[in-house]
Amino acid sequence: MSVIENTLNRLRQRAAADAAATVGSKTYGAVAATGAAARRLSTESAPTPERVITIDQDGLRAAGMLPPAHQEHELAQEYRRIKRPLINSALGRGVAAFPEGNLIMLTSAVPGEGKTFMSLNLAFSICREEDVTVLLVDGDVVNPRISQILGAENEPGLLDLIKDPTISLAAAIVPTDVPGLAFLPAGRQDANATELLASARMQAVMAQLGSTDPARLVLFDSAPLLVTTESQALAHFAGQIVVVVRADRTQQHVVLEALETLDEGKPVSLVLNQSLRQPGNYYQYGVSAKPREQARGS
């Protein structure tokens, strides 16, 4: 076992079984979703919004944000392994639902782990569900990469909702041409972004995002935990946190330092990304942030 695997194994053993979502992956991509038939019918009968983001799958693939066509089937299977416990813990399917469990933050310890790739492909994978929709939020307000990729970097978004209560949630959320997928941009940048994300107004916005649609998962693509204070502020309001760990690269102390920034008791899942292990030969973990100090000293 690598140092990271030993560390994560100790975390798994100490985590409470009912405080973790079991996720893991050897992969770094997934096939883009087409949506469920029933949802397509309801979408077709709905009024046409003023603006719809067109998902350019070929462009995303060329930019390295979707897997090559020959890997789509294999990687789609891997994302099914990741999304199922997240959905179950968010909606209380077979397990007790986490408080605010439908607010899921994806992050990493440091840049280059693949968390934005993971956010996009996980959103596409969840859209394949028959009865679940996705709101993808660009929570990386310092480096809003997804907003740039989708051509929405100059659109009002998360920060604007926090700053201006007169902006409605419906006005800021932009539908896409992928059935069941909508997008909330990061919004216009602000020097006091950390304070905005830590504010009572942010708490109200998060409550609204989480309660508008009981069948919707809200995925936040966040900045790395050890790079900005904005990501730590956002983590406080998330119901589930997914930390992407790049295989054979991220060091043990870096993972533990990132976990230390999170609230104790927060449901945290780790995804091993870009591993070369064959399916079935990698570890799947669900960990709680609470036992971090014990793990660090062992």
Q: Is the pLDDT of residue 38 over 70?
A: no
pLDDT-derived band of residue 9, with 50, 70 and 90 as boundaries?
Answer: low
Between 65 and 287, where is the model more confident? 65
Q: Rounded mean pLDDT of the chain?
A: 81
Kindly report the backbone phi and psi dihedral angles of residue 249, in degrees, each rounded to the nearest multiple of 5, phi listed first: -140, -50
Split into its structural domains, the chain has a count of 1
Q: Is the pLDDT of residue 87 over 50?
A: yes
pLDDT-derived band of residue 100, with 50, 70 and 90 as boundaries?
Answer: very high
Kindly report the backbone phi and psi dihedral angles of residue 245, in degrees, each rounded to the nearest multiple of 5, phi listed first: -120, 120
Q: What is the pLDDT of residue 57?
A: 86
Kindly report the backbone phi and psi dihedral angles of residue 167, in degrees, each rounded to the nearest multiple of 5, phi listed first: -80, 125
Looking at the chain, the whole-number percentage of residues with pLDDT higher than 90 is 62
Q: Is the pLDDT of residue 21 over 60?
A: no
Q: What is the pLDDT of residue 273?
A: 83
Q: Over the stretch 234-255, which tens digit does the pLDDT of each residue have?
A: 999 999 999 999 987 889 899 9
Q: Over the stretch 137-168, which tens digit does the pLDDT of each residue have?
A: 999 999 999 999 999 998 999 999 999 999 99
Q: What is the pLDDT of residue 290?
A: 41
Alpha-carbon distance 234 to 159, whole Å?
A: 12
Q: Over the stretch 262-279, which tens digit does the pLDDT of each residue have?
A: 998 899 999 988 776 655
Q: Is the pLDDT of residue 47 over 50?
A: no
Assign residue 15 the CATH number of its domain.
3.40.50.300
pLDDT-derived band of residue 211, with 50, 70 and 90 as boundaries?
Answer: very high
Predicted TM-score (pTM) of the model is 0.79
Q: Which domain holds residue 55?
A: 3-297
Residue-wise over 63-92: b if at least 16 C-beta within 10 A, else e? eebbbeeebbeebbebbebbbbbbbbbbbe
Q: Is the pLDDT of residue 25 over 80?
A: no
- CA angle in degrees (0–180, nearest 5) for 292-117-224: 40
Kindly report the backbone phi and psi dihedral angles of residue 91, in degrees, each rounded to the nearest multiple of 5, phi listed first: -110, 0
Q: Over the stretch 174-199, which tens digit does the pLDDT of each residue have?
A: 999 999 999 999 999 999 999 999 99
Nearest to 157 by CA among 136, 134, 127: 136
Q: Over the stretch 112-129, which tens digit does the pLDDT of each residue have?
A: 999 999 999 999 999 999
What angle in degrees, to the nearest 10, is found between the helix axes of 3-14 and 252-260?
40
